[in-house]
Amino acid sequence: MAQHDGRKAGPQGPEPTPLWRNRDYNIWWSGVAVSRLGTSVSTLAFPLLVLASTGSAAAAGGVGTCGSVGLVAGLLPAGVAADRYPRRALLIGSSLVQLAAMGVVFWIVAAGRLWLPLIAAVALVQGLASAAFAGAAAPLVKRIVPASQVRTAFARVEARDYGAQLAGAPLGGALFSWARWAPFLVDALSFGAVALACLFLRTPLGPDAADRPAGRPALRRDLGAGLAFIRGSAFLRYALVWMALMNLFFTGIGFMFIVTLRHHGASPSQIGAAESIATACGLGGALAAGWVVRRLSGYRIILIVSWMVAAGVGGIVVLASRPWLAALCLGASILFVTPLNVVFASGMVAMVPDAMTARVMTSANMASQSCGWLAPVVCGALADGLGVQVPLIAIAVGLALLAVANHVVPVVRQLGEVPESGGESESRTDPDEQTIV
């Protein structure tokens, strides 16, 4: 594997170059930061646009579901493509497709020709392109960052994403209030920025010729290789089921937070500001992630996260008519999500060989998001039929059950500290053979 080692000679041997001096990491980090900012802007604007046009939470949820379906459906093929074909081309191509998709939304909104089926179709294309980008991006950090810095790199990625959300939510609300087309133009331009960042990376992104089998495996076998690796770990099997349900509820929380605040009379700008308060809490957790994962076991982190999320959503149910207090409840629920993400993501990257990183990571991503597409449409239908509080109550109850499961399922205790150098795991998979436990 042609991996950028980012090292310099020192008196006691090679030392890793600090991340802030790692050219490719900083270009990648910055390009994706711009893209995440644009996505945060349009994520707030999409449901507001549909709600303003139709007045239906179910319609807004249907558009969100189309995007989620595209993402989940595209992840497995995207992982196979990223382990077979040049990843740089996939990254740039998928970014340009997303630029074009957002350009279409900008054009129809600016022209006053909003047609809900077209918006839903664009959301589906956007989800598929996002999956292609995620597949090609999965092995990237491992290639441009030394193994000893992978956990730190992931923590900074989490901080970047929360920072983009922190700025994007109020910006999206303000832009939507000024002109409904503006958030979508900003998002379209942001995809151009990440495409340029991918173009200027110097590190070979692979896949390397040496990692490719002499005879290319059948597509069906390649599609199942990532899932086969995951099946070799009892903890990963439980974790992905747990995370799939957690993502279902989190997607519902994000959607219902906007719908509920709007139902109680909050303006788009107020909703954006409220989301920024919540995101600021998440950013604080992201900045503290390195400190947290060094001092708490993964088991303790998962217990804290699950109960804080359940309690936070319960607070939103009670305080939904007060956007600032509801925002603090949402912030409390996501405060410690980042340390859990860091432990899980760095452990996955460390244990997976580069030749199949994209397949394993996209398989895990697909599994964890397999239920998320249901949340917007189900929550929207419940909100229209039974009231906006019913979906939130159902989510809070579901989260409490997930928290209880972490106490009673023994395999959760296997989530301990992951060595910085990674490389060892309770299960390994030969991509061309069966799973070895």
DSSP string, 76-137: HHHHHHHHHS-HHHHHHHHHHHHHHHHHHHHHHHHTT---HHHHHHHHHHHHHHHHHHHHHH
Q: State the pLDDT at residue 347.
A: 60
For residue 89, what are the contacts with CB-CB under 8 A and spacing of at least 6? none
Q: Which of 108-117, 133-142, 354-363 is the least confident region?
A: 354-363
Choose the weakest-confidence range: 12-16, 73-77, 276-280, 351-355. Answer: 12-16
Share of the chain above pLDDT 70, in %: 84
211-233 average pLDDT score: 66
**Residues 404-434, buried b or exposed e (16+ Cβ, 10 A)?**
eebeeeeebeebeebeeebeebebebebeee
Interatomic CA distance for residues 213 and 80, integer angstroms:
13
**Percent of the chain at pLDDT above 90?**
33
Task: Report the pLDDT averaged over residues 121-132.
Answer: 94
Average pLDDT over residues 55-80: 86
Residue 11 CB contacts under 8 Å (≥ 6 apart), including other chains? none
pLDDT digits (tens, 9 = 90+) for 413-431: 766 544 343 333 333 333 3
Structural domains of the chain, with CATH = 16-201+221-419 (1.20.1250.20)
Residues 6 or more apart in contact with residue 107 via CB below 8 angstroms: none
12 φ, ψ (degrees, to nearest 5)? -115, 25
pTM equals 0.69
Asked if pLDDT for residue 246 goes beyond 70, the answer is yes
